[in-house]
Structure 1
Amino acid sequence: MVQGTKEVLLNEETYQYTVAQYLLVSVDLPLSGCVIGATPDKPFLGFKLKLDPAQLCEIIAQTNLHKCKKESVKGWFISDADPLLIDCAIRLTKLLDTPQDIPFLAPMIVREIYYRLLTGEQCEAVRQIATAGSNMQRIAEVVKQLRINFTEPLEIEKLAEQANISAASFHRHFKAVTSMSPLQYQKQLRLLAARQMMLAENADAAQAAYQVGYESTSQFSREYSRMFGAPPMRYIERLRTA
């Protein structure tokens, strides 16, 4: 984050990060966010970089940074950016002033950013992105399936089998990586999808509830209110008139 403040919502909890901090997400999570600190004089300004697991793996192999914890680590975090990491981001951004230098210099700076992340405060989470067979990668594969089939009933035994671990271990590792249980993760996906349907497709609450997999509209309304702070249609109307 270069300027301003951003707020992210995950599992009914709200987190903020601001100047000289960064959010790193190593597993696909149902995060929703909004800018809460920006003015016309000082607009929101951020720097985003998509990490390449193959390049991370190459750096780990070359620098002997392959030793990871066996236990799962959280798949997202907010941290302070140290001066060396900030310097990398600044140098990469400044290449916009000399676009002819981008093809040659940008890959080297990006590689340095990877190295700084792999040797920094949250190195274990970054390493597990590129570590074949790590608990994070196992959970990440399960998460892909959950995102595709989020309207279907949850079958923990099948998910645990896919991750090649017991059901009890699956619950523990899933929560360690995503900060929520599989059921909570599915609920987040459903509620976010329902919000999109009501906002963009003009669906009513009952239609949205059934389309995302709810059998009870009252349960949907309760869980929606708990997550977003207001009943479905009242919340949507607030968004439309804001």
Structure 2
Amino acid sequence: MAGIENLSARMAAQVAKLAGDNAFTQSPVPQVKLLYTTCHQPRQPVMYSPSIVIIFQGKKVGYLGRTTFSYDPHNYLLLTVPLPFECETFASPEQPLAGISIGVDTIMLQDLLIDIGDDVPSNHKTPASGITPSPLGDEILCATERLLDVMSKPLDGRVLGPQIVREILFYVLTSDNGGALHALVNRHTHFSQIAKSLRRIESQYSDNLSVELLANEVNMSVSAFHHNFKAVTSTSPLQYLKTYRLHKARMLMIHDGLNAGSAAISVGYESASQFSREFKRYFGLTPTDEVTRLRDNSATSSMR
């Protein structure tokens, strides 16, 4: 146990060095981002893309519907669909949060499944949700250590990193909870059909997408679509679409400098006042106040 804790501490120090003054940093390895902050962040809405989140130091607690889960140095988080939930981050200047996020590449996943062939573990469970906390095993931890090592040199990271990412994806795929990844690319599961609808929302969130249209595209009745959609996301299709638009608008205001009215139009709202009301109801602050808060937090977390 002490050996694992020492390894996690060393990897956290590597993340701190690589991340510099940024709380969320793109690494030299495609698909991989560094997570680092010295500030506690209270429970708040977040939106994650399909990814594997591995924490070396600190802790995050997620809330999805009535479910609460932790991802920390002992448990990684597997998300197989873009999913909004609430998250609290536990970090301090003395005990920063440090980790990485590895994007799930479906092409790499399909290629791995072809290589695995009929040797897919028989203990795979069909996932009920798009989010799965899982124990962090030695294989994943050791591969992640090598991934951080190659990141110290941009060329090594760019060339050698993707192979280590593939190795980590393999270990997750062949673990007890690997069924979540397998179901993602298996066209015959309800999970993959809902994932297809979520990709449609992700790429065309500003369009007038009806539940009937989304259900028809995956050959489901509206009632069956509602049932399966809520099983995967813990929310209804229309609520998910609204939430996705609000998250996207927030990103447009923070990173692209759009004002609330322009962001509202960009994500499909016809009424700026309706957008502001729904934004405040969901995030707890007006669009302007929320952008100010996030920028202040970013500035604070970089002062170390």
TM-score by length of 1: 0.76
Q: Which residue matches 2:281?
A: 226
| CA–CA separation in structure 2 for the residues paired with 1:171 and 1:185 | 11
Q: Which residue matches 1:57?
A: 113
| CA–CA separation in structure 2 for the residues paired with 1:154 and 1:172 | 18
The alpha-carbon distance between structure 1 residues 2 and 152, as it changes in their structure 2 partners (threshold 3 A), is same
After superposition, residues 2-81 of structure 1 pair within 5 angstroms as 2-6=56-60, 16-30=70-84, 36-39=90-93, 42-51=95-104, 52-58=108-114, 60-65=116-121, 73-81=128-136
| CA–CA separation in structure 1 for the residues paired with 2:292 and 2:101 | 31
* Matched position secondary structure for 1:164: coil
After superposition, residues 194-209 of structure 1 pair within 5 angstroms as 194-209=249-264
Two-structure CA RMSD over aligned residues (Å) = 3.9
Answer yes or no: is the 8 Å Cα contact 2:124–2:177 preserved in 1: no
Residue 129 of structure 1 aligns to which amino acid in structure 2?
L
CA drift at 1:121: 3.7
Can you list the C-alpha shifts for 1:41-60, whole angstroms capped at 9, x where unaligned? 55433244344222441355
* Matched position secondary structure for 1:225: helix
CA drift at 1:218: 4.2
Residue 146 of structure 1 aligns to which amino acid in structure 2?
I
The alpha-carbon distance between structure 1 residues 50 and 214, as it changes in their structure 2 partners (threshold 3 A), is closer
* Matched position secondary structure for 1:138: helix
Answer yes or no: is the 8 Å Cα contact 1:2–1:19 preserved in 2: yes
Can you list the C-alpha shifts for 1:160-204, whole angstroms capped at 9, x where unaligned? 121122221111122222222211221122111222333344444
The alpha-carbon distance between structure 1 residues 113 and 234, as it changes in their structure 2 partners (threshold 3 A), is closer
| CA–CA separation in structure 2 for the residues paired with 1:194 and 1:151 | 10
CA drift at 1:125: 0.9
Q: Which residue matches 2:227?
A: 172
After superposition, residues 106-117 of structure 1 pair within 5 angstroms as 107=163, 113-117=168-172
After superposition, residues 156-195 of structure 1 pair within 5 angstroms as 156-195=211-250
Can you list the C-alpha shifts for 1:199-239, whole angstroms capped at 9, x where unaligned? 34444434433332223444323321232121222222333
The alpha-carbon distance between structure 1 residues 171 and 56, as it changes in their structure 2 partners (threshold 3 A), is farther
Q: Which residue matches 1:127?
A: 182
Residue 83 of structure 2 aligns to which amino acid in structure 1?
L
Larger strand proportion of the pair: 2
Which ranges of structure 2 fall in alignment gaps of 5 or more residues? 1-54, 298-304
TM-score by length of 2: 0.62
Q: Which residue matches 2:39?
A: none
* Matched position secondary structure for 2:97: coil
Number of residue equivalences: 239
Can you list the C-alpha shifts for 1:82-129, whole angstroms capped at 9, x where unaligned? 3444344345545669998x989984x666644542343423212212
